[in-house]
Each structure stands twice: as C-alpha cells, then as structure tokens.
Structure 1
C-alpha cells in the first residue's frame, strides 16, 4: 500500500522535488523570506533560539541584533549556528559559520542590501551588531518523500 496521503491532514502529498528544484526553491526563499529562526549556544553549552530578520547577500545571511543579545554573545563565543526557514512542511535548515560584524566594519553593499530589503537601518547605532552566517550545510525538504535527498550543500559547496 503506497503512502500518498499525509497522516496529519489526510490530503494528497505532492511528488518529491528533484534536487535542482529544491535548490532553486531554497534560493528563492533565501531571497524573499524576511525572518528566520536562529539557534546558537553559548560557551556554557546552553541553547538559545530567536527569530531575526535577514537578507541573503553574497552567499551569506546577514542579520542585526543588539550587541548584548544572547545570540550575538553566542556567535562571538563559538562562531556556529543553525538557521531555519519555513515550517515543518517546508523546511530549509542551514548549519552555518557565524561571525559578529561591528557596524563600522560592515561593507557598504551589505549594509545597503540590508536596508533595502528590511527597511531598517541600524548602521549608526552602536548598540547593534551585524551577524553574518556563512552556510556550511543546507538541507531542504517538504515531506518524508524528500528526506533521502534533502542535502543540498556540504562543506560550503552546493551539491547541485
């Protein structure tokens, strides 16, 4: 008996997308979505999860938060993070190298891209820092039928 219905909704599942289509959809989400969930851990190992707005620029996600925010502290402490887009039926999960970028060290093009997309300019506010997330792995899936081929990037290189 083939499983073509979702156990939670009873509706028909869409066929699995090919890897190239999932990459295209993922890049579309990175360009269009505004918010992401960011998961970091401090030097003490305690996890912290927060939503932040982002811009996809130069192959990295760029976000801003207060310098004193736990996410900023955690990025400075260990330089790793997970970033997630979407819901449980359309997941993009990114493991990333993360760095805090002081406002004065942010490149002009990055700053302009951030302001253009998010309509929020914190470049003159010393209470804020930017966070740059460079993807190391990217996985994307919608349903169980896409789990086997969910890996789109490994070691910072696209697989498709």
Structure 2
C-alpha cells in the first residue's frame, strides 16, 4: 500500500498462500524436544504431499530420536515476517517402509535421496501430520492467525 501498511489477508487467502509456499519451498525449520524437554532446532528438506510434511534425517541424531520418541514436532518456514507455524504428530517410516512414490517425490523436491547406497539404514522418513497451523503477516493478521486447530481447517 502507498502508506507502507500491509493489506490484511483473510483466512482463505492465507491458506492459499500457505499451500503455495509448502509446494514451492524446499527447507523447513524443525523444532523437537526430548522426553526431558531439551529442545532441538534444525533446518531440513521437506516434501508437502497435500496432507502432511515429510522429512528425512538419521534416526540416531537428536532430531531423529526426538521425533521417534516423543512423536510431536513444530515446523516453521523461514520468513519471520510472513510467519508459518505448524504443530503436528509424527509417524516414522524406515527406508523400506516409506511409500515409493513419496520417497521419489521427496528426492525430486530436495535433490537428495536418503535411500541412496552408502547412506545405510540409519536414515528414516518422518511424516508430520498437522494438528495446528498458524499463519500471519505482521501484527495486523494476529487475531485470525489460527487456520487449523485439532487437525481441522478453519477455512
């Protein structure tokens, strides 16, 4: 806008923008914690399959252990002005358990394939199914930031 203010998007527009970003972007911040509450925050490549976010990392690193043991994660796209926060439940898939089409799509999107020989069985896929989604661009959009609660889209 000419005065420098930002037009407030309605929830439908925010959901549309979110889904476009999930299709377009390649990396996402993954926050997890162990059973004692020790936090871990790392960027990982991801795939959005239209219902869930797929990640892959080693089972033995802190993120892999946390996702497996606690079964919850919080995700965020990188832009701190156009905020996306996704909380979700986690399912773990071994390299031989992940659907082939999903693994192929993940490899194409991230330009990295955890199944590649040499990686060994230490990698797994983690399917994060959203239970809560918040999206806002600066303060004006805060009041209607919840696009999903308890796994149900508001719009």
> Normalising by the residue count of structure 1, what TM-score does the alignment of the two structures yield?
0.90
| Alignment correspondent of 1:41 | 33
Q: Does 2:7 align with 1:21? A: no
Residue 81 of structure 1: how far off its partner (Å): 0.7
Residue 58 of structure 1: how far off its partner (Å): 4.1
Q: Which blocks of at least 5 consecutive residues in structure 2 are unaligned?
A: none
| Alignment correspondent of 2:74 | 82
Please provide the CA RMSD for this pair. 1.6
Report the count of equivalent residues: 152
Q: Does 2:105 align with 1:110? A: no
How far apart are the structure 2 equivalents of 1:15 and 1:78? 39
How far apart are the structure 1 equivalents of 2:57 and 2:16? 29
Alignment of 1:90-105 (within 5 A): 90-105=82-97
Q: Relative to structure 2, which stretch is displaced further, 123-132 or 12-21?
A: 123-132
Q: Does 2:145 align with 1:146? A: no
SS in 2 for 1:71: helix
| Alignment correspondent of 1:158 | 153
Q: Which blocks of at least 5 consecutive residues in structure 1 are unaligned?
A: 5-10
| Alignment correspondent of 1:7 | none
> Normalising by the residue count of structure 2, what TM-score does the alignment of the two structures yield?
0.92
| Alignment correspondent of 2:65 | 73
How has the CA–CA distance of structure 1 residues 33 and 129 changed in structure 2, closer, same or farther, with 3 Å as cutoff? Answer: same
Residue 87 of structure 1: how far off its partner (Å): 2.0
Alignment of 1:52-67 (within 5 A): 52-67=44-59
Residue 92 of structure 1: how far off its partner (Å): 0.5
How far apart are the structure 1 equivalents of 2:122 and 2:5? 47
Residue 110 of structure 1: how far off its partner (Å): 0.7
How far apart are the structure 1 equivalents of 2:148 and 2:72? 16
Q: Specify the structure having the higher radius of gyration (Cα).
A: 1
Moved over 2 A (4+): none
